[in-house]
Amino acid sequence: MPPKRAAASKRKLEEDSESEVDAATSKFASDASDSDAPSTSKPKAKKAKTTKAPKAAKPKPAKAAKPINDQPTNKTLPDEIQFPAKNEGCVRIATWNICGLAAAQKKGFKHYMEAEDADVLILTETKVNNDPVDPMLTNRYPHRYWSISDKKTYSGTAILSKIKPLSVDYTLPGHPDPKSIKGRIVTLEFESLYLIGTYVVNAGTGLKTLDAKNEWNKHFTTYIRDLDRKKPVIWGGDLNVAPTEIDLANPKTNWNKTPGYTEAETRAFAEILTPPEKEGAKPMIDTWRKMHPETRHYTYFSYRFNCREKGLGWRLDTCKFFIFVIWHSLILISLFLLVVGILLWWNMR
DNA sequence: TCTTTTAGATG
DNA sequence: CTGTATGCG
DNA sequence: CATCTAAAAGACCGCATACAG
């Protein structure tokens, strides 16, 4: 895959990521697509910025100039960002882990927001401590729902919408430690569907919080299936899991070692998408993967080790949705149209 | 993620 | 305001 | 004891905070 595109900036802050979905029909119907912000890099080698611990003072290779390739950096957004035009009557849903709203705004969050002009925007790792009142956000999105963690400047999930939801929920029902869930989930109920935005628990360095993540997965699975019995569900955000081996650059060396790609995490995720027979629940569709069955495309690049330039990334952020019998034909049709549109757009770039 | 250090197996 | 340190990812 | 190798340990980037001077 051509090096041309990459997610906007920040991902889990370690990175950035972003994905987008268009829902067809005026009321939030179906179908989706995903895309990322374009790139263009800034060859700026700004090195003397971090005040690093003194320590044994290491030589520091003075990395000069900087390789000029067309990869973006994690420190700034491209100056020019373009997205496919929105289809008339479609609702565009996008998600982006911004790793700090304040930092993202300094990097050019506004340019992304204007270029994408999503109708519904899911933001994760906002790290805000109060509901932002910036006109830049409030003018475009009259309806804003911020889930804020108890822990200062930690996690944080928000959904900004041009469409007024019927109801809003910030909880994960059944979870034994509700405080730990604050800042991680926002559910909006619309007339025809539910939209869930999540910043899923990170399994932690050395997998030290894998237990907490398993707890989340257990209750989230129940929750999403309960909602599914009532209305179609679209789920997006930082899902903090690389679903399969083609969703990260180095599957072998990371398997069961690095958070986001362990047996427990991938299995839990797979069971959300494809419930075991006995449960009788309906499957979900990984929309981006559905449209690009074999493409290796990542939404996150670690800040460390110049992973972005090297293309060493993970696909952790995306949107999924449930299929319902009633919606079946509509989804197939709109999905087909969307795929055609995306392919055309992709090839023309 | 990548490099260096340490521990451990082998002969 | 600068520097150092910690937590988190 | 010398040598190879596999596992463990650091260092690594960046955001945000707290605190010392």
* Strand B bases with any atom < 7 A from protein Cβ: 1-2
Closest among A316, A348, A333 to A34, alpha carbons compared:
A316
Q: Which of A39-43, A91-95, A101-105, A221-225 shows the lowest mean pLDDT across its residues?
A: A39-43
What nucleotide is nearest A304 when CA is compared to C1'?
D13
Domain boundaries, chain A: 93-342
Maximum Cα–Cα distance across chain A: 66
Q: Please pick, among A141, A145, A194, A199, the residue that the annotation labels catalytic.
A: A199
* Strand D bases with any atom < 7 A from protein Cβ: 11-18
Cα of A136 vs its chain's centroid, Å: 21
pLDDT band of residue A305 (cuts 50, 70, 90) is confident
Q: Which of A22-31, A184-193, A244-253, A299-308 shows the lowest mean pLDDT across its residues?
A: A22-31
Mean pLDDT computed over A165-191: 96
Mean pLDDT computed over A91-118: 89
| Residue A139, annotated as binding a ligand | no
Structure tokens at A43: 């060859």
The 10s digit of each residue's pLDDT in A137-155 is: 999 999 999 999 999 999 9
| Residue A347, annotated as binding a ligand | no
pTM of the model as a whole: 0.77
Q: Of chain A residues 82-101, which have a beta carbon within 7 Å of strand D? A: 99-101
State residue A74's pLDDT score: 65
* Strand C bases with any atom < 7 A from protein Cβ: 2-6, 8-9
The 10s digit of each residue's pLDDT in A198-234 is: 999 999 998 999 999 999 999 999 999 999 889 889 9
* Residue A303 contacts strand C, CB under 7 A: yes
* Residue A252 contacts strand D, CB under 7 A: no
Of 3.30.479.10, 3.60.10.10, 3.30.200.20, 3.40.50.1360, which CATH number belongs to A93-342? 3.60.10.10
Does the pLDDT value for residue A106 go beyond 50? yes
Comparing A61 with A167, the larger pLDDT belongs to A167
Q: Of chain A residues 207-236, which have a beta carbon within 7 Å of strand C? A: 209
A199 is catalytic: yes
State residue A19's pLDDT score: 59
Mean pLDDT computed over A237-266: 92
State residue A306's pLDDT score: 77
| Residue A80, annotated as binding a ligand | no
Q: Of chain A residues 99-118, which have a beta carbon within 7 Å of strand D? A: 99-103, 107
Which residues, 6 or more positions from A185, have their beta carbon under 8 angstroms from its beta carbon? Answer: A147, A157, A170, A171, A172, A196, A197, A198, A199, A220
A228 is catalytic: no
* Residue A256 contacts strand B, CB under 7 A: no
The 10s digit of each residue's pLDDT in A32-78 is: 333 333 333 322 222 222 223 333 333 333 333 333 334 556 677 77
State residue A50's pLDDT score: 28
What nucleotide is nearest A249 when CA is compared to C1'?
B1
Comparing A9 with A299, the larger pLDDT belongs to A299
What nucleotide is nearest A314 when CA is compared to C1'?
B1
**Distance separating alpha carbons of residues A5 and A296, to the nearest angstrom:** 12
| Residue A97, annotated as binding a ligand | yes
State residue A286's pLDDT score: 87
| Average pLDDT along chain A | 74
Comparing A77 with A183, the larger pLDDT belongs to A183
* Residue A305 contacts strand C, CB under 7 A: no
Closest among A341, A88, A91, A283 to A193, alpha carbons compared:
A91
State residue A56's pLDDT score: 31
State residue A18's pLDDT score: 52
Does the pLDDT value for residue A276 go beyond 80? yes
The listed range with the strongest mean pLDDT (A19-23, A44-48, A249-253, A261-265) is: A261-265
State residue A45's pLDDT score: 27
* Residue A205 contacts strand C, CB under 7 A: yes
**Distance separating alpha carbons of residues A140 and A132, to the nearest angstrom:** 13
The 10s digit of each residue's pLDDT in A241-255 is: 999 999 999 898 899
Q: How far is the CA of A303 from the C1' of D8 (A)?
A: 23
Residue nearest to nucleotide D16 (CA to C1'): A153
State residue A20's pLDDT score: 56
* Residue A250 contacts strand B, CB under 7 A: yes
